[in-house]
Chain A
Amino acid sequence: MDGLFNLWSATGLANLTLPALAMIAVGCGLLYLAIAKGFEPLLLVPIGFGAILTNIPVAGLADPGGLLYYVYYIGIDSGVFPLLIFMGVGALTDFSALIANPRMLLLGAAAQFGIFATLFGAILLNYVPGFEFTLQDASAIAIIGGADGPTAIFLASRLSPELLGAIAVAAYSYMALVPIIQPPIMRLLTTEEERNITMPQLRAVSKQEKILFPLGVLTLTLLFLPAATPLVGMFCLGNLMKESGVVDRLSNSAQNEIINITTIFLGLAVGSKLAADQFLTVETIGILVLGAVAFSIGTASGVYMAKMMNRFAGDSPINPLVGAAGVSAVPMAARVVNKVGLESNPHNFLLMHAMGPNVAGVLGSAVAAGILLALVG
């Protein structure tokens, strides 16, 4: 009889708690969004599955000694996984549009206002009972506005590891929702006439410029903002491997195998942070709301900056829509700009013009993360 009782007490049925069940449902929800709706499936499949594994009773996969615990400890606690992803993203990025029209960097800078305004908003939320965000927490939440998954995970792992699960889920969910969040804001802040503006064709960029660009960015980071070097440095390494053309094998590995393997384990490790006691809190709701606010403010400030630049642009006008692409989220935000532009003028293809602010946004959010690390970390 004792044996039977012991067996029963080792089953999941006997140990399943309501919060754990709720988190398994959250994991299934993420899987549904990824598989049925196609929302960021590369990340949400491993995150959702990781969330289910983490909340399986008795197994203790995310407890010390469990597989997911070690994956998190090795990959995210150390900061290695987001940086490896950043190297892959660097190897996938083409900076031609930005080198041809460097003014677009200002749009990438303006869109980062979403981050810093949300930081203020997160602290304001402390007036609501139940919220107790420190400056570190607020900075980690605000980086969702950078619309850059690896940057958000990197900064959260440095500043506020206990909020990492909610921050990563919010960041990737909103990145998938860019085509829904951005267009209404873009239409609201621009006139039909502005959306019709055709931009001059970009000049061709030489190979030498493309090779020197990552080295230049690295030099500036080294001189002015060493705190951003982990992110920017790996990004520049990936980009240099691609543009130099002499290490195609390494560049291909960074773009495919390394980024894919890392994505699986990064997702699982983020999923391991979706334990009931950490995720089912009022703070998670606050983070989800703040994330949406950060995205919206970032989009709006990018568009406003583009409108202002257009006023002083002279003979090479700027379509204010491209400002919305300043919020990183490559290449989704640029595609959204192209789509909204085509609605106003079916012959106005803004994709290449939007890629400039889009990759500027990646640099901008990495720089913003470096500033937050330097000042708050």
Chain B
Amino acid sequence: MDITALLAQAANLMLTGMVGVFVFLSILIIAVKGLSRFAAPAEQTPPSSRRTKSKPTSEEQVPGEHLAAISAAISQYRNQHFQSEK
């Protein structure tokens, strides 16, 4: 078979193949979306259980003493690092 005819076949295969792969995986997307809709949702850990374990007052804010300790540690590290580089 001459190369031109083979090339035409290859081009045809390229087109058919890519269309085939996209169509198949697109159907799979729809199937997975359908699956997620009908399957039982994932068990979420109830938010209340987490709250009871942590401190009720300091959920969002870092306590001042922690902040002070952290910044002291950072400045100490920076000092040491700076000196060691010298």
Contact = CB atoms under 8 A, between A and B. Distances in A.
A375 B3 contact: no
Contact of B22 (A106, A117, A122): A106
Nearest to A115: B17
A220 B3 contact: no
Given A123-B6, A208-B39, A135 B32 contact: no
A205 B42 contact: yes
Contact of B18 (A98, A116, A126): A116
A203 B37 CA distance: 13
B70 interface: no
Nearest to A117: B14
Given A212-B35, A224-B24, A367-B21, A204 B42 contact: yes
Contacts, number: 116
A371 to B, nearest CB: 5
Given A124-B7, A208-B39, A105 B17 contact: no
Interface in B1-41: 3, 6-7, 9-11, 13-14, 16-18, 20-29, 31-33, 35-36, 39-41
A367 B24 contact: yes
A292 interface: no
B83 interface: no
B10 A368 contact: no
B52 interface: no
Nearest to A210: B39
A134 B41 CA distance: 50
Interface in A262-278: none
A109 B17 contact: no
A138 interface: yes
B18 A123 contact: no
A249 to B, nearest CB: 26
B83 to A, nearest CB: 26
A220 B27 CA distance: 8
Interface string B37-49: 0011111100000
Chain B contact residues: helix, strand, loop or mixed: helix
A371 B7 contact: no
A73 interface: no
A218 B17 CA distance: 19
A364 interface: yes
A173 B7 CA distance: 28
A364 B21 contact: yes
A220 B24 CA distance: 8
A360 interface: yes
Contacts of B27: 220, 224
A349 interface: no
Nearest to A211: B39
B35 A213 contact: yes
B32 A371 contact: no
A187 interface: no
B28 to A, nearest CB: 6
Contacts of B21: 109, 112, 364, 367-368, 371
A83 interface: no
Contact of A119 (B14, B26, B29): B14
A328 to B, nearest CB: 13
A105 B11 contact: no
Q: Which residue, B6, B17, B21, has most C-beta atoms of chain A within 10 A?
A: B21
Contact of A102 (B32, B39, B43): B32
Contacts of A371: 16-17, 20-21
A119 B16 contact: no
Contacts of A364: 21, 25
Nearest to A138: B10
B18 A112 contact: yes
Given A112-B18, A212-B39, A367-B20, 18 more contacts: A109-B26, A115-B17, A117-B14, A119-B13, A123-B6, A126-B3, A127-B3, A203-B42, A208-B40, A209-B42, A216-B31, A216-B32, A220-B24, A220-B27, A225-B20, A363-B28, A364-B21, A372-B17
30 contacts: A102-B36, A109-B18, A112-B17, A112-B18, A113-B18, A116-B13, A116-B18, A119-B14, A123-B7, A134-B6, A135-B9, A206-B39, A206-B41, A208-B40, A209-B36, A209-B42, A220-B28, A220-B31, A224-B23, A224-B24, A225-B20, A225-B24, A360-B25, A363-B25, A367-B21, A367-B24, A371-B17, A371-B20, A375-B13, A375-B16
